[in-house]
Every structure is written in C-alpha cells, then in structure tokens.
Structure 1
Amino acid sequence: MADLSSEPAPAHERHRVPRWAAIAAIYLVARLITTGFLLLAANLSTASSRFGADADLGSLLGGWDAAWYAYIAAVGYPTDLPLSADGFVETNQWAFMPVYPYLSAVVGAPFGSWLAGAVVVSLAAGYGACLVLFALLRDRIGDSPAMWAVVFFSVGPLAALFHVGYAESLFLLLLFLALWAVMRRRFAWVYPLIVVMGYTRPGVLAFALFLGLYGIHRWFTRRRDPLPVRDIVHIVALGALATIVGFSWQFIAAAVTGSPSAYLDTELAWRRGWIDTSEHFVPFSGFIEGAALWFRLWGLPEVAAYVVLGLVVAGIAAVLLFVPAVKALGPEIRLWSASYLVYLLAVFFPQSSVFRLLVPLSPLWGAAAVPRSVWWRGGVVAVCLLGQWWWIYNMYALASMYWQIP
C-alpha cells in the first residue's frame, strides 16, 4: 500500500517515534481499556441479560449481530425466506453483507474458530482505520490535532466495535481509504474500494450521494480548483458504480430467493417488533414513525417529535456549514457527513442501534481535536471513556432484547 502520510517528516522530526508506532501504542492502550470494560460487563451480566449470568468475554464478542455473521459463514443465505404465522418475512441473513463473515472464516480457519478470525479482522481493521484517519486529517488540521482525533476515535463511546464480531471496523477502514483517495484525487483507488465496501456493510448508497455532491462542489469551485475532464469522468463513473453496487444486493437476494422484495422485506422485519409496517419500504418513513413512537412512549405529544426532528436536522446542517472547526476538515468530510446523515434518515428506524450507526461519521472527531487546550482534550477523552462504559454496560451487561440493542 502506498504511504498514506502526505510528506516525509522534516529532518528535525526524524528522531521522533514513527507515526505508525505512536498510533499503534495509542490503539493498544485503548484496546486494553476496552477489554477491561468488556470483562467487567461480562462479570456484571445477570440472568435477565441476553448473555445470562455466566457470560464471558467470548460470549460478548460473539453476541448480537456477530451471531448472524457466524451463521452466514456456516450456512450461507436462505433460498426460502422464513415466514411468520401471519405471512410476514422474519429476520434472516439477507440483512447482512457477505465480505466480513467470509473473510473472518478464512482468517479464523487456522485457529479453528470463526470468532477468533472475526476478532482479528475487527482489531486489525480498526488499527488500519486509525492510520488512515490520521492521514485523512493531518493535511487539514495538522499533525497534533490529527493524532488527538485518533485518540478520540480509539477510545470513543463505540470503541467496543473494534473488538466484537461486527463489520464496522472493516467498513470504516474501507470508507476512510475511499475518502482519502477522493481527497488526493486518486480516483482509480476508489473503484475497488466501493465494491468491497458495498458488500461489507450497508452504506455505499450514502457514498454515491457523497460523490454526487462532491461533483457539484467541484463544478462550482472549478475557477479556483480546476476540474479536468478526467476528474469529471471518474466522479460520474464512481457515482454510477456506487449506485449499482448499493442496489445490487436487492437483486441478488431476489434472484436467490425468487422474491423481488426479499431484501427490503427482511429489513422491515426488524422494525415489526416496534411498529406496524406496511408491506413496502417507504424512504424516510421509518425515522418519522420511530420519532413519533419514542415521544409517545415518553408521554410527550407526537407533534413534538416532528418539531424536534426538524430542529435536530437544521442544527446538524448548521454545524456542518458554519462551525469553523468542522469547516477546517475540508469539503469532502463535510459532504460525506451530510450524505450519510441523509441516508440514515431515509432508511433507518431509530432505536438504540442509532449510536452504532453514527460511527461512519468518525472523521468529525477531527473537529473535536482542533482546540489545543489540554483541559479540553483531556475532557473529551474522559467523556469518551464514560460514554464507552455506558454503552458497553447497557448493550453487553444489561443487554435486554428490546431496549439495549447495539
């Protein structure tokens, strides 16, 4: 792989610890802390938890969606969709992409354990994501803030995802590489990344939207940032590829099962435990209906949900547009963040998994790292660690099937 740092270190800096080694040390310490949290969560697990009173570290690492990935590696995808007594499609493997489970099976084969392979893939991809995140940010905000962004990312509230059998770590590595390649105008790199990313975890359609917005941005800024025909061809072709890959899983599921709506019906099955769903997927309906549901459960007027949702969307847009620390990250990270948030609004039903689904916004850690106050940075680390324990405790110690789903 090409060196992801922008330039060789100046002569007076060459005596310092190599950046890859410094990031490795940060990542190792962060992983030891997270392992301690997971062990404590296993010890605190009770009979009312999904993991039971005799939980151990292995059961936590292989729990929740990791069990689905392990099942895919063992038996593949169903040709006949499972149906409930009332004829609705039930939850099944088609909601999960194939790259992570099968890669984990290959890596885990020498250990005789799919879970061992999954943990190795997650940990290694997490370290790789840290390296690329540093490269992604250093030219925009400088070495020191970029390194602090890596610290925040490594110890963040969702840092357990670097350990468990989930596809997030691998997706983040691929995503950061793709964003870095776009920033460097190395578009040839992005083609294979889009394909692998698209079959690792849902989200490549957000990247297609990002490429569209990026192309529009480049067009309107072409006087100060020339836009050669070659770049136009690449941006259009990459956007088309991301769109094709993003929708292809639906056609693959339809071809294998014989049901044109197999994938969307499978995704809707996860909502059915919360709300009555129609027979067809409607973009943005899940978030709107989910917000209303939560406000009703909290005893608040349903109409307030729509007001709050609108204010939150407007507030996030203002942050991406006007906050100096966010603007310093550059247009690519801001456009990706906006695209991914629009994608979530369009396809997601809000519940406790929303925290995990926000992880692809991790390049925004760079904005938190811009202030150079020691107290600020130390405070961010403290908040990250508190948030990490809160998330692990809820999702892996309490781990109720309804309220605490990672």
Structure 2
Amino acid sequence: MDNGSMDNGPMHALSVAPVGLNAALWTRLASAGTRVSRWPWWVQVGGLYLAARLVSAWIFMAAALHQGVNPWFPAKPDYWSFVNIWDARWYGEALQNGYPDVLPTDAAGNVQENAWAFYALFPMLGRVLAGATGMQPALALTLIAMVCGLGTALVAYSLFRHRATHTTALWGTVFFSTFPVSPVLQVPYAESLNLLLLAAALLLVVQRRYLSAMPVVVLMCLSRPTGVPFAAMAGLLFLYRLWHWRAAGSPRGAAAPAGSGLWSLAGLTVVSGIGALLWPAIAWAVTGDIQAYTKTETVWRGHDLVPFKPWFDTGILLFGPVLGVLAPFVFVALFVLFMMSRPVAALGTELRLWCSCYMGYLLIFLHPQTSTFRMLLPLFPLALSAALLSRSRAYRGTVVVMFLLLQIVWIVWLWAWAPLPGGGDYPP
C-alpha cells in the first residue's frame, strides 16, 4: 500500500494557491475540493469517468464536423452515426443476423471477412436489451458499452486500492479514463465489456477468491480473446504460490492444505484454459470447420498466423533490414526493464504477471498495426504505476493533459475515415 502519501482530497490539487491567482476564486476552488473529497469514493470515480467521456464525446463531435465522404453515411454525420462505424458495424451484424453457418469465400476459396471474428457476448447482450426495450440495436450496444466502461472504472479503482491510497488509486483511474484510446469505451465495441470482466476477475484473484473468479473468466473469454494470457497468468501464479508453500518448509509429498487456495487456483487455471478455447470451439461446431475462427481472424491480416513473425516484418518495414530485426528484441528488453521498475513492482505479483502474460500474448499472436493501440487497454493496471511514479501534481496533471491531446490525435487520425492512396484507411 502507498501509505506514505499525505494527500487526502480527491486529487489533492488545492493545497497551495499559485502566485497571482485571485484569492476569492482560490477560496471557492479549495472549498469545492474539500466538499468533493467528502463524497463517497464511487461518486468521485464515477464523476471523473463521466467527465472524461464527455470530453471524448466533444472530440468525437468536433471530428465528425470534418468527416468527409466515407463508406457508411453522408459527410458531417451526427454523433451517434459517427461512433457506430468500423467494428461497431460487425457487432451490429452479429446482433441482428447472428453468425454464418458456412464461412463466406471468394472465387478462389479464400475465407472472407465475417462475424466470427467478433465474440458473441457483447452482441448477445445488445440483442437482449434491444428486444426488452425496443430500442435500436446500435443504441443498445452503445448504451451497454458506456455502462460497462463506467463499471470498469469503479472496479479498477477497487483493484488499485489494494496497492495504493485513495488519492493515488483515483489518479490511476483518471489515467485509465483519459488514456488516448479510452474513447473506444463509449462506442459499440466489446472493449469496455471485456475490461469490466477482466478487472473483476483480477480483483477476485488479488483477493484470492479463485472459485468466484471462474464464472467471470468464462464470460470474459466470450467477450474478447483474453483467455489465453489469463490462463497463462493463473498457471504461473499457481506455480509461484506452490513454490512459496514448499519454500516455507512443507514436505514435497504433502498435499496443500485446503485453506491455501492452491487447488482453487489450479482449477481457475484449467477453467481459464477451457474458456480460451470456447469461442473457436463454438465456431467449429457451427461451421464444421475446425479452423473457422482462426481463418476468419487472419483475413484482416492478409496472411496466415505465424507466431512472432509479424513483429519482425513490421520492424523491417519501419527501420530497415538490420535494425528492423533487432527492434523486437530491443522492445522486449525495454519492457522487461520496465516491469522490473519500482512503480510496476508496487502493483504486486498478480497484476505484474497479468501485464507480462498479456504482452507476451501480443508478441506471439498480434499483427502490429494501428489497432494495436486499442489492444493495449488490457494493460490498464499500469495506469496505477504511472500514478505511483510521482505524487507531483504537475506531473499527474501533465499526464492527463497529454492523454487528452492524444485522444484528439487518435480520433482524428484513426477513427475518422479518410481514404488512403491505395484505398481503405488505417483501422482504429
């Protein structure tokens, strides 16, 4: 716990008046800060998260005014049309028409883009909400995403409180809420649902409530492909706990005591592994093709999945044939050093293992592209490390301002559609 901090307000930003600031204005700000600090933690977290989403909505609306001709709607769309593009259309397709029984192919027999690349839990919830209320499917998906994003902020704060004071945990939540790609949490993408379930599962693991984590992990595995790194994290954590138990003097042949949680953790590892295979297995059962999911997923890559290779290809593309081959190794070395730093070490074993396993998963399976920025969101525990790096109000405030400016870059560069010379556009 970061118990050495003396900051007691929600952001502890009002302790010393800057030179030249009007005294009456400063008094009102200080009074407002004191009142806010007395609010329940969930009101503080929820208010800050909603404020961040309002800023993102303003950026979306400003970018929409400059949106030209595109594949989905007329130029200068309204906010709701503007946020319902890209993968949101695929989730809408899955909601309304389900998943194909036969994989679509071209004349040469190559699998084409289809809904199997998009996990079913998010569109299924949208179908239930739309059916129960009569609202439009796109609106139902957007509402679910927004509510799940708020829930993620609340659960993330609760998770951070296991390692930091209220103020530092609040700053970590603010960093997560304003992260450059955080606007995706308010659009009809499955990220917010997946992060809510992931944060809940990590919280239960930190609390050593492994049996309670099992159903949460299964649902998480049906929202986005995070089951494989979670199973790896649970398995490594099991080995770590087992090693500690034996290092404490327990005989090798002796069974772990029931209260140790070791066997529950082993069960969570197995459930996570099975959960990771659920969606590919469902795609196989429906289509009759054992590779239905992987064939569909790799359509967007333009080539088959070869572990690690895309990182070297991208490195060569960006840095040339020599430095490009070295670039992935340099990246891994820097990430290892980063994970060994004091602010990251303060996260504790479980969260450090999760971040390491998830980054390892990305290195093995990810094809690095512009969508990679969005796929970094499951590393959200590192937001707490960023808050732990310094208690300086200037540093923390600068990070938030930088993140908000980078939101403009992300939305204007990647979310807004502009044709490339060769056709298409970079995906967000």
TM-score normalised to structure 2 length: 0.85
The residue aligned with 1:329 is: 347
Cα pair distance change 1:24/1:290, threshold 3 Å: same
Q: Superposed, which structure 2 residues align to 1:3-402 within 5 Å?
A: 16-47=38-69, 52-109=74-131, 110-222=133-245, 223=247, 228-229=257-258, 231-272=261-302, 277-278=303-304, 281-292=305-316, 294-295=317-318, 300-321=319-340, 323-370=341-388, 371-400=390-419, 402=424
Q: 1: distance between equivalents of 2:175 and 2:363?
A: 26
TM-score normalised to structure 1 length: 0.89
Q: CA deviation at 1:52?
A: 5.0
CA deviation map 1:14-70 (0-9, x unaligned): 981100111111012111111100101111111268655232212222111110000
Tell me if structure 2 keeps the 8 A contact 1:41–1:392.
yes
Q: Which moved more, 1:173-182 or 1:304-313?
A: 304-313
CA deviation map 1:345-402 (0-9, x unaligned): 1111111000000000011100111111011001100111011111011122245474
Q: 2: distance between equivalents of 1:95 and 1:37?
A: 29
Q: CA deviation at 1:403?
A: 4.5
Tell me if structure 2 keeps the 8 A contact 1:62–1:115.
yes
Q: CA deviation at 1:251?
A: 2.0
Q: 2: distance between equivalents of 1:239 and 1:309?
A: 29
Q: 2: distance between equivalents of 1:255 and 1:70?
A: 22
Q: Which moved more, 1:351-360 or 1:248-257?
A: 248-257
Q: CA deviation at 1:99?
A: 0.4
Tell me if structure 1 keeps the 8 A contact 2:145–2:185.
yes
Tell me if structure 1 keeps the 8 A contact 2:315–2:327.
no
Structure 2 portions without partners, runs of 5+? 1-7, 9-34, 251-255
Tell me if structure 1 keeps the 8 A contact 2:222–2:278.
no
Tell me if structure 1 keeps the 8 A contact 2:311–2:368.
yes
Shift >6 Å, 4+ stretches: 224-227
Amino acid at match of 1:69: Y
Q: CA deviation at 1:107?
A: 2.0
Q: 1: distance between equivalents of 2:113 and 2:88?
A: 14
Computing the radius of gyration from Cα coordinates, the structure with the larger value is 2
Structure 1 portions without partners, runs of 5+? 1-8
Q: CA deviation at 1:152?
A: 1.0
Q: 2: distance between equivalents of 1:290 and 1:103?
A: 37
Q: 2: distance between equivalents of 1:225 and 1:328?
A: 27
1:44 is paired with a residue whose SS is coil
CA deviation map 1:303-342 (0-9, x unaligned): 3222111101111011112x11111111111100000011
Cα pair distance change 1:117/1:382, threshold 3 Å: same
Instruction: State the aligned residue count.
Output: 383
Q: 1: distance between equivalents of 2:197 and 2:269?
A: 16
2:322 is paired with a residue whose SS is helix
Matched-pair identity in %: 35
1:140 is paired with a residue whose SS is coil
CA deviation map 1:71-106 (0-9, x unaligned): 001111111111123221111111111000110222
Q: 2: distance between equivalents of 1:85 and 1:291?
A: 33
Tell me if structure 1 keeps the 8 A contact 2:311–2:328.
no
CA deviation map 1:191-223 (0-9, x unaligned): 101110000111111100110111122223335
